[in-house]
């Protein structure tokens, strides 16, 4: 039976840290396309019982940032692909904190990683609902490892190349909402 929690418990935070993938869902406020993105690598941190953050890396789309600018709504979903079945969702309000923002450096320090050449922002989620569901139909999967393609792609780019790419490909959402432009 599904449960709702007042906040992110230490047990849930530990379980999330062990999951190799999570999903991010956002949607524009008026019509448009719902976005659902898988996120991997070691990009998620639980900042407090009611706050989470993840590293937003340069990619082909920019839906999350544009939807957050539009209305702030965001859901993170975690699934157990090994061990006991479980699906947990964090619902809340999000914000993309960009490198030029004074809060960025302190947030980025929480990840304990060296400067990431392809980093676009830190997405911060103020959580107002935590819930789980059974996950009985989620398949068992074997984790093989991380893909390095995104990091390899970014490593081949100069800072100027990434700025140009973001200007061309990350200025607006697929529905025309402003993002980085």
pLDDT, position 174: 95
Write down the pTM of the prediction.
0.95
**Alpha carbon distance 140, 138 (integer Å):** 7
Dig out the tokens for 4 from the structure.
């709702």
pLDDT, position 71: 98
Task: Spell out the domains of the chain, with CATH numbers in brackets.
Answer: 3-169 (2.30.110.10)
**Range with the poorest average pLDDT among 9-13, 78-82, 105-109, 114-118:** 114-118
CA distances from 106 to 24, 111, 130 (A): 23, 10, 25
Identify which of 135, 140, 131, 95 has the alpha carbon closest to the alpha carbon of residue 12.
131
Arithmetic mean of pLDDT, 128-142: 95
Spell out the residues 6+ positions from residue 130 whose beta carbon is closer than 8 angstroms to its own. 4, 5, 6, 7, 8, 12, 88, 89, 90, 91
pLDDT, position 115: 63
Arithmetic mean of pLDDT, 2-13: 91
pLDDT tens digits for range 20-51: 999 999 999 999 999 999 999 899 999 999 99
Contact predicate 147/57, CB 8 Å: no
**Alpha carbon distance 156, 117 (integer Å):** 10
Dig out the tokens for 131 from the structure.
């819930």
């Amino acid at each position: 039976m599904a449960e709702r929690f007042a906040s992110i418990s230490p047990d849930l935070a530990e379980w999330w840290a062990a999951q190799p993938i999570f999903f991010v869902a956002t949607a524009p406020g008026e019509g448009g396309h719902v976005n659902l993105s898988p996120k991997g690598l070691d990009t998620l941190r639980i900042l407090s019982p009611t706050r989470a953050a993840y590293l937003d890396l340069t990619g082909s789309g920019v839906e999350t940032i544009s939807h957050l600018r539009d209305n702030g709504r965001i859901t993170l979903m975690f699934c157990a692909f090994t061990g006991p079945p479980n699906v947990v969702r964090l619902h809340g309000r999000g914000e993309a904190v960009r490198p030029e923002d004074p809060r960025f450096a302190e947030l980025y320090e929480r990840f304990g990683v060296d400067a990431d050449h392809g980093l676009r922002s830190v997405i911060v989620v103020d959580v107002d609902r935590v819930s789980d569901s059974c996950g009985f139909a989620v398949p068992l999967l074997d984790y093989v490892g991380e893909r390095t393609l995104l990091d390899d792609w970014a490593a081949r780019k100069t800072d100027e190349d990434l700025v140009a790419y973001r200007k061309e490909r990350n200025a607006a959402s697929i529905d025309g909402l402003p993002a980085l432009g």
